[in-house]
Amino acid sequence: MVDAATRLSTTPDVSIEPVTAPQIDVAALNDALLGTWADTRREAREMIKDSAFWRKDELGKDEHRERVLSQLHLLVENKAVHRAFPKSLGGEENNGANIAGFEELVVADPSLQIKSGVQWGLFGSAILQLGTTEHHEKWLPGVMDLSIPGAFAMTEIGHGSDVAAVGTTATYDPEAEEFVIHTPFRAATKEYLGNAALHGVAATVFAQLITNGTGHGVHCFYVPLRGEDGNDLPGIGREDDGLKGGLNGIDNGRLSFDHVRIPRTNLLNRYGDVAADGTYSSAIDSPGRRFFTMLGTLVQGRVSLDGAASWASALALKIAITYATERRQFDGVDGQEVVLLDYGKHQRRLLPRLATTYAQIFAHDEFLQKFDGVFSGRTDTPADREDLETLAAALKPLSTWHALDTLQEAREACGGAGFMFENRLVGLRADLDIYVTFEGDNNVLLQLVGKRLLTDYASQFKGKDAAALAKFAVGMTAGKVFHGAGLRQLGQAVSDFGQVSRSVERGLREEQQHDLLAGRVQQMVADVAGRLRPGAKDKALGARLFNENQAELIEAARAHGELLQWEAFTDAVHEIEDADTKKVLTWLRDLFGLQLIEKHLAWHLINGRLSTQRAAAVSSYIDRLCARLRPYALDLVDAFGYEPEHVRAPIASGIEKQRQDEARAYYADLEASGEAPVKEKKTKREPLGDLKKR
């Protein structure tokens, strides 16, 4: 590995000021990135170095599906699926490790990651989280060993994110002590279900529970799909979704039910039960709170998507930045072709995305700690569950959108080589496309966050006078990022230092970045709340005003998610012990924060948060940060910890450097031999006599 000092000395004119080049402790940084469950992640990465887990690009849809199913059996053999399940059934009851291990599968094949998530993270988790001990003992062993492959039947053609409005019904028949599961119209067909087209023999079905003529809202039922003979049971309708835009190793399909009868005890009744005579009971009186409690137990799907998308972005940048440090294009000042990453534009297109990926990985680990605390019972309070739901809805959209953006930019940054399927980027881009809409459409999720922010905003003002309203501040700072999901305090106005070249560097360091990012969220929420206030007592007017302000509320929620990531990045920087590594990581954090500010410079100017002088210096300082970070780019992607068996992209294998070195050696030898052809431009500049002398 070439050290940073050597890179500084060989990189064309990227120095910002005379400094002794820091040296990154790559191993320590890798530990920080892998986070709380680093051992589990390393164990999973070691397992998927086996080529049996790798995606085979040449396979068609049908062969790909069967290969992924066989890989699930390999996961069982490797004891990689049991971590979240009860110890009484051979599990570990380690929820954080479970998610961390499954996220790592994305670099083997995203289809494997998602299908395993369907089997154990959705189907199995529904039984575990919504069922009782009787259900656990009856079905979970088969779920764990894959003798009961299953589908998670929540989404319908007519209702995706709006689960409360699903059309499927579960009507109780007290005489037979059975529920009748029925699809009353086409739009109520369960859709996009992994394991539904081929492999599933059962499903956890979300349906409207009706007993004694009363609807009690959506509940979950265990519904067998296939008999012992391998044929679908009477009343089960199964359709194959066919070829998709990605993830074709998963047998997505549709399920419908024509008056399918199941035993009363197949209701997963942790939160609501029906007695033999049809009497409904629940420990949670409020139907709305009961519904959200049930859905909250299944938040791990969003948690795992946030992590998997972040690590997919890391893989894309490992490929693109490695290639960019080897590929040469266009003559430089010394006649040598220039390495791509030495170009300012190439740094600008990759390094800010690298900074964002770091922020997301650090935020995800704190998010995963929160999830583990809630699901282990250590911190399982209503407030913690509400925070977990809000964090999932805030972070999953940002990481999945970022993954698509990063994969596309990385593909373009690698030119034609990036378009070759063997180099992973186009395949990953196709497979991760669906991440932005499943487990909740990103915009719908951010709207949930926005509503939470409005609630937090309103709660500050109960019983307070106008002076108190004007001084609204929640008072949360970095270091408290996941103790709550509320708004943040706006610090004092940033003042100029009178020297443009230093104004941003001196004035927008950690505290000022936080003030600007937090202040923007606070102001946007306050503005929306003010515009919604006239509709507080008029339902029709309130609906119209909310619709008119929906886009800005979603943007405020997005800014809130970005603030969470910035704070998590800052927490991580503070925890780094090695001084040099902390210095470089601080630059990377600053790059993340400043590019967020740059993205919304117009807002900061319009709202008086930055002077024109200060705003003008933001972009130039980002360029300086990119140049400062350039010598550390390889170390920063090496710290992701991916080995050749994980990357599997020829352009990131060193082959490009071999080609470039061979070409340079060829031209050097040709020039030394005196047989190199004279360039036409030179013949036109030199007199004929001089050419003859040569």
| Residue of 636, 671, 692, 491 lying closest to 23 (CA atoms) | 636
Contact in structure between 546 and 434 (CB atoms under 8 Å): no
Over the range 69-97, which residues count as b (16 or more CB within 10 Å of their CB) and which as e? bebbeebbeeebbbbbbbeeeebebbbbb
- Supply 438's token pair: 């499943």
Written as one string, the DSSP assignment of 498-548 is S-HHHHHHHHSSHHHHHHHHHHHHHHHHHHHHHHHGGGTT-HHHHHHHHHH
Contact in structure between 435 and 306 (CB atoms under 8 Å): no
- Supply 475's token pair: 């008072």
Identify the active-site residue in 191, 439, 555, 567: 439
Written as one string, the DSSP assignment of 571-599 is HHHHH--SHHHHHHHHHHHHHHHHHHHHH
Neighbours of 670 (CB within 10 A): 12
Would you call 439 a catalytic residue per the annotation?
Answer: yes
Written as one string, the DSSP assignment of 318-369 is HHHHHHHTT-EEEE-TTSSEEEGGGSHHHHHHHHHHHHHHHHHHHHHHHHHH
52: buried, middle or exposed (CB in 10 Å: 19+, 13-18, 0-12)? Answer: exposed
| Residue of 592, 628, 575, 569 lying closest to 22 (CA atoms) | 628
Q: In this structure, what DSSP letter does residue 118 have? A: I
Alpha helix ranges (H) inside 205-327 = 287-296, 300-324
Calpha distance 315→318 (Å, rounded): 5
Strand order in the sheet with 236-240: 190-193, 253-257, 236-240
Instruction: Please list the active-site residues.
Output: 439
